[in-house]
Chain A
Amino acid sequence: MEHYKMNLTLKVWRQKNNQSEGSLETYQVKDISSEMSFLEMFDVLNEQLILTGDLPIAFDHDCREGICGMCSMHINGRAHGPWTSNTTCQLHMRAFKDGDTIVVEPWRSKAFPVIKDLMVDRSAFDRVIQAGGFISVNTGNAVDANCLPIDKKNADDAFMAASCIGCGACVATCVNSSAMLFVSAKVSQLALLPQGAPERESRVLNMVAQMDKENFGNCTNTYACEAECPKGISVANIARMNKEYLHASLNTES
Chain B
Amino acid sequence: MTSKQFFASSIGKKITMGLTGFFLISFLIVHCAINAMIFFNDGGQTFNHWGHFMGSNLIIRTAEIGLFVFLLIHIIQGLLLWKQNRTARPVKYIVTKPNENSKWYSRSMGLLGTLILIFLILHLYHFWTPSRFGGIADVHSLEETTLTDYNNQPVHDLFKEMLLVFQNNLLVVVIYVLGVISLCWHLLHGFQSAFQTFGLNHKKYTPLIKLLGVGYSIIICLLFAMMPIAIYLHWIG
Contact = CB atoms under 8 A, between A and B. Distances in A.
Interface string B80-101: 0100110111111111111011
A222 B103 contact: yes
Contacts of B102: 175, 222-224, 227
Contacts of A123: none
Given A108-B93, A242-B199, A245-B11, A220 B81 contact: yes
Contacts of B12: 249
B107 interface: yes
Contacts of A175: 85, 98, 102, 107
B60 interface: no
* Interface SS of chain A: mixed
Interface in A161-178: 173, 175-178
Interface stretch (A47-55, A137-145, A207-215): A207-215
B146 interface: no
A224 B98 contact: yes
10 contacts: A77-B93, A110-B90, A208-B9, A217-B84, A220-B14, A222-B102, A235-B201, A243-B199, A243-B200, A245-B11
B89 A249 contact: no
B15 interface: yes
A240 interface: yes
Contacts of A239: 196-201
Nearest to A242: B199
A103 B95 contact: yes
Give chain A's interface residue range (CB within 8 Å of chain B): 35 or more
A105 B88 contact: no
Nearest to A21: B91
B97 A222 contact: no
Interface residues of B, number: 45
Interface of A: 24, 74, 76-78, 103, 105, 108-111, 173, 175-178, 180, 205, 208-209, 211-212, 215-224, 227-228, 234-236, 238-246, 248-249, 252, 254
A242 B9 contact: no
Given A242-B15, A246-B15, A220 B85 contact: yes
Interface in B143-189: 189
A242 B11 contact: yes
A238 B196 contact: yes
Contacts of B97: 76-78
A215 B109 CA distance: 21
Contacts of B96: 77-78
Nearest to A236: B201
Given A221-B193, A222-B103, A239-B199, A177 B11 contact: no
B41 interface: no
B106 interface: yes
Contacts of B106: 220-223
Nearest to B193: A221
Interface string B1-45: 110011001111111000000000000000000000000000000
A205 B201 CA distance: 20
A82 B5 CA distance: 40
Given A209-B9, A220-B81, A240-B201, A24 B94 contact: yes
Contact of B193 (A217, A220, A240): A220
A205 B9 CA distance: 10
